[in-house]
Amino acid sequence: MSIAGYISSRELKDLLISLAALVIAFSVLMGGRSIPGMEMVLIIALGVGTGFLLHEMAHKFVALHFGYLAEYRANMTGLLLAVVLSFAGFIFAAPGAVMISKPRAPAEFYQQDPFGQAELIKQLKNESLWISLAGPMTNIALAAAFFIVLLLSTPDGIAARAANFGLIINLTLAAFNLLPFGPLDGKKIFESNRIVWFIVGLPTILLGLSVYLRMI
């Protein structure tokens, strides 16, 4: 079974489990390391829901655009760490990843022509760059949208609170995923194009860190 032929039942299950764990983790972190009231949980769920789901779907659909097979898989260890570490005042935003693969290896890869292989490697690096950028750039765009809503909202109103949390959550997700380590998007971007990482990744990480330090 699938939704619109794009999301399998297994993928939907993993997305919902990951979403629930992230909502708990951000609720604990932003609630002063304890579970906040239902209104705040719902507001946080809005920010996490848009940030996490659209982040992963951006990876998925850009990968599909380039002809890859792509499906989200939850990382149960990462989800457990996210919840546990939130009580210590730290968010570990690595709930899982969109797993991608080519349906079959490109024929050019097996050519003996070194130039042809070099062109293929360049193409694959370019595809990896755009697929990896898609998630964090979605969070950056959402953070900017929430910031505009925050500026236009009545101070202390529910819209302002929702926009504030949405801004913080999406900026945090973008900054964390742009770190150039491990399986994170930032490492793939850094390896594909260091100039792009320095232009996009470094400022986002510094801004996200400043927001995080004010929050804890």
Residues with catalytic roles: 56
Q: Closest Cα to residue 41, out of 148, 212, 162, 124?
A: 162
**CA torsion, ordered 40, 60, 172, 89, to nearest 10 deg:** 70
| Distance between CA atoms of residues 158 and 200, nearest Å | 31
| Contacts within 8 Å (CB) and 24+ apart, 83-89 | 83/21, 83/24, 83/25, 83/28, 85/25, 86/24, 86/25, 86/26, 86/28, 86/29, 86/33, 87/28, 87/33, 88/33, 89/29, 89/33, 89/216
Alpha helices in 31-113 (DSSP H): 38-65, 76-86
Q: Determine contact, residues 212/179, Cβ cutoff 8 Å.
A: no
The two structure tokens encoding residue 36 = 């906040």
